[in-house]
Each structure stands twice: as structure tokens, then as C-alpha cells.
Chain A
């Protein structure tokens, strides 16, 4: 795998406030990396340094091998930034916004016109391209906000909380677009505090809190790292005490107990052991009517690592 972006030892302080403290990670081609953390964790400061908007006190960022900082102009051609705020001109049309930023990316003429057409198609705004963006809904503005970041075919797309304040339909459209970009080979850096987005989109996740990445890996790796287990609820009738006794000694089952509707288990990697568990329950005389699996999510991981719920921070 080719690393498109490599950040090493990034640090940034504002007076006595240490905003980012030794953050480092890399993103490979076609990979979506999620930077997950609460507001004030250092996500936006980290992104600002990666995008070359902010000078790092320590550390460095390289994109495609080129050093990135506020003075580096040409290497920024490799990146597209979708900021958290709706950074579009309200008194320009969708197309004018695209063409303006396209010119800043050094594009012009038919190349710019073609790319603008393509992006308008991708973000579903071709029909509204001549409308002033102040007449757009929040979701349409968000989509255009993303479109501007895509306009010049970047190698690395940085999306800073792109779905904040978006209706479910537009949100889903945005997530699908990001998945499509990833499939197209673009490296994506995605920050969010929405767990389900990180779980859906990200190949790897870095959990950032108080300016430090406290854990990094795939969702499964993170779950295993903190020892969180799947909760399997089996509904049914039969000799439940016997069923619990036999399931307690089944491989993968860490804990078993009776519940109102049947039995409840804590299982390591339920997808691997579910068939054996159901077979054991049947052999113990249980008539199974339903099975429900709750896998530990990143919320649980975050809670485990920081001692606080992500949404409450």
C-alpha cells in the first residue's frame, strides 16, 4: 500500500493550551481514515496542519512525499479540503462557486468546465447549477461544499465533519459519495463525532482525545484492544438453566445468564462462534425463536478508553 499522507509527531499549542500533542498517522491510497473525537479534542487543529492552513510547532506532514505547511503552495494541488463550515459564496451560483475555486486550483477553460459538470453530477446539483447558493437547502449546500473539494481530482480528500446539520437523506447521499470516492482510489481523511459514520465509512479509525491519538486501528482491532465483547440474546423456551450451563463452557462465550425471554451471552467475535452457540443451545433442549446480536461499537471503545461517552463530551 502506498501512503498518500504521512503525519509525524504533530504538535500545536495556543499559549498554554496544548491543542495537539504528538499526533501521527498515515493514510493509504483508497483508504478512508476516520479521526474520531469529541469537540475540542484537537481534530480541527490536526486537520488544519495537514491541510497546510496552520504551522505546526513540531512534526511534519507529507502528502505524496511533499512537505505541507502554510507556505507550501504547489503540493496543495494534491489535496482537497471540505471544511466543517459551509465555505461557499452565498451570492454566487453553484457553478460560479466551483469555477472560482477551480481557478484557484489552477484550472481553466474546457478542463474546468468539464470538471465542474462532472462534480455537479456527482453531488446531484446539475439542475440547480445556475441558482444562487443562498437559495439552497442545508443539504444542497453541504453537497456543494464537498463538490468544491473534489473538483480538481485530489489524491487526498479531507472532510471535516461534513454531515453536521444535514437531513438524513442528504447525509446518506454524502456518505455514499465518500464510499464511492474511496472505491475510486482517493485517500480520505474523515473527521466526525458520529460513531455510526466512522463505523460505516472508515477502514481505520484514530481516536483522538485531549490532543493525542489514544488508539488506532480497524473497528475490530479497537474493540479487541479494549476487550469489549458482543452481546448475543437468544430468545426461546426450554430448560434454560441447563442451556446456560452448557453455553458457559462453549468456546468464545465469556459469560452466560438467563433472561426474561431466554439467555444472554457475552461472546468474543460472535460471527465466528454463533453457529456453535446455537447448536449447543439446541442440543441442550432449547427451542430458539430469535437471535439478536449487539456488537460493541466505537462509542463503547471511546467510553472504555476515555471514561466518558463521546456524545456527552
Chain B
């Protein structure tokens, strides 16, 4: 009963703090939205094409590009828009066909096409795709140009014949086989990765900010006043830990529910997701209490809490997906509870159940146990010594 009173007190105080309400409830969902819009979902590179007078061959190139998988072709009308589009990122890359492209191909002359992309990234990766399409499209034209040069037929007649023959030739296909697992499942929604990352990031930062509240409770003499009542040290410590746990768990459940209802985030098996939130909340509560006993004033603890929270989130894969880390860094990342929690979320999103995340839950529970025991020992000393 007294434990509940102390824990409830923490929750009431959280809801009284307007800045805390913003950071605990509003900011996380806003970030999930922003990250989802920026990085989430399927992505087709946009290829701008400038063809002032495409002619037969140019039109075929554009048609072939439009039918290529995973490329969105955008027709442009001037050179300036083409360059600016690439520079500003609205286009991944751009292709420029000269106005006399068809004439030069028909005459058997060399005709250069322009390809513009920013160094590195998706745009540069489009270059071989575009080059292959252009070469394939001018192949029949080159043959027709040769026939016309021999005065065996006009260019147009020869081009029709060449295309007919080309279509009848046996085609060589490249069989693509992928090995290993995809970094991200194809079923991953726009907001899914961002949601779980933001969940663990904010739960942990909120937990650590609770260290300042704990120090304030001591600074104000409230802990000693509680000890002067018929309340044991153990009850006070359990109540304070319960308070921290409740605050973090409420935030975690709120983010889960909000992301599910607003953004349609798929958290996987609900029971497993709940288990992850509960155990991770216990980790956060332990970390907050330990931090709250290591510092003497709330300002120090608040500052260090944010740095530690962001640092562990970055290392644990809550800012950049851990799948992008090197194998060595991935192992190091698993020194943080964040990595284990994110692993667990990834597993249940991939149709896993509670039985599939036993290792992750066990690791998180071990973190929670160690942190809570250490924090309880430290807090007992802090409360009972002047």
C-alpha cells in the first residue's frame, strides 16, 4: 500500500510537469512521424529526362527507362531545372538527350548523352542502369544506320526490320539469387523501424531524467521525512523504484498505442511487445535510480542523464539501425540494453512470439536486476546517512 502511494506520487508529479508531458508524450510521436516521412517506406529513385526532340530512338530510350523496375522517370523541359533538381535532391539523377540525337544515330555518328548525378548515393548507382538501357535502345538503330549507309534500305525501313529481328533473337537473362537475410523485411512499414527506435530511446531518456527527480526528493528532505514515518527503508526504495518504473512503462505503452493507432505501426505479437516494454522499463528504472544516487544535485544528473541516454541510444542502434553497423560494432552495441530491446522488437515484427525473444528478455532482465540491486544499495546509503 505504501509502496503504491510512493509510486503513484511519482506518476502524479510527472503529469503535473508540462515540459515533461511534451518530452514524454508529444515529442516521441512527432519524431516517429518525421523519421517515417523522411526515411521510411519504399523508395523509387527519380530520374529526370530532358529530350527536346526525342525522335524514334529517343522515345524508345524513354519508354525502356519507364519500364525499368524501380525507376520513376520525370520529364523535364530545360537544362536548368535538370541540374537544380539533382542538386536539391528532388531528382536522384538526370539524363539529357541532345536535340539532334536521332539524326546523329541515323547518320552513324557518335552521339553523347548527358548523365548528371551527385557523387555517391542512389543517383550514381543509377548510371549503369541508364547506360544499359541507352545501349540496348540504340543497338537496332546502329544496325539500321549501317544498312542505310550501304544503300540497302532507308534508315526507317532498316530500323523496323532490325527491331523485328532483335525481338526474335533469344534473350540472355541474368538470374539474380540473394543470399543471407534482408537487412529489413520487405513487409516493414514506413514508421516501423523509427517507432521501435524512438520507443527505446525515449523510454531510457525519460527514465534517466527521473534521476533528477530522485535527487530532488532527497535534496528537499522528503526521503528523510518518509523515513521518519513508520515506513521501512525497503518500502521507500521499492516505492521509488516502482515510481520510476511506472513513469517509463506508461510512456512506453503510450508510444506503442499512439504509434499503432496514428501511424499503423506493426509491433508484432502484442504480448511479446508488452513484455519488452515491461522489462525495458525495469532496466530504465534501475538506471535512473543508480544515476540518482551517483550525483548530489539534480542539474548534474539531468545533464549526464541526457548525454548517457543519447550515447547509449546511438551505440545501441536506436538512432542508426544496428544492421548498418560493422560486426564488431554490433557486438559492442549489445553491451547496451537498447540493442537487446531492438533485437526483440525486430524478431516479433518478423512474426516471432514470446518464445523467440527469450534470450533478449533474459538479457534485459539481467540488466534490470543488476541495476536495481546496485541502485537499492546506493539509495539505502544515501537515505540513511546524513
Question: Using a CB–CB distance below 8 Å, which chain A residues touch chain B?
Answer: 14, 44-45, 48, 51-55, 70-71, 73-77, 79, 81, 83-92, 96, 100-101, 103-106, 108, 132, 148
Contacts and interface: CB of A to CB of B under 8 A. Distances in A.
A83 B225 contact: yes
Interface of B: 1-2, 5-6, 9, 12-13, 16-17, 220-222, 224-233, 384-386
A100 B228 contact: no
Contact of A81 (B225, B231, B232, B385): B225
23 contacts: A44-B386, A45-B386, A53-B384, A54-B386, A71-B232, A76-B229, A76-B230, A76-B231, A83-B225, A86-B220, A87-B221, A88-B220, A88-B222, A91-B16, A92-B9, A92-B13, A104-B2, A104-B6, A104-B226, A104-B229, A104-B230, A108-B1, A148-B225
Contact of B228 (A81, A86, A89, A92): A81
Contacts of B229: 76, 101, 104-105
A87 B230 contact: no
A261 to B, nearest CB: 51
A73 B234 CA distance: 11
A151 B228 CA distance: 13
Contacts of B227: 52-53, 70
B229 to A, nearest CB: 4
A132 B16 contact: yes
A218 to B, nearest CB: 29
Interface centre among A77, A85, A132 (most CB of B within 10 A): A85
Contacts, number: 83
A53 B13 CA distance: 25
A67 to B, nearest CB: 14
Nearest to B14: A91
B131 to A, nearest CB: 66
Nearest to A79: B228
Given A87-B220, A87-B221, A87-B222, A52 B384 contact: no
A52 B227 CA distance: 8
B9 A48 contact: no
Nearest to A83: B221
A85 B221 contact: yes
Contacts of B2: 103-104
Given A85-B220, A89-B9, A96-B12, A104 B386 contact: no
A48 B229 CA distance: 13
B132 to A, nearest CB: 66
Given A73-B231, A96-B12, A91 B17 contact: yes
A266 to B, nearest CB: 44
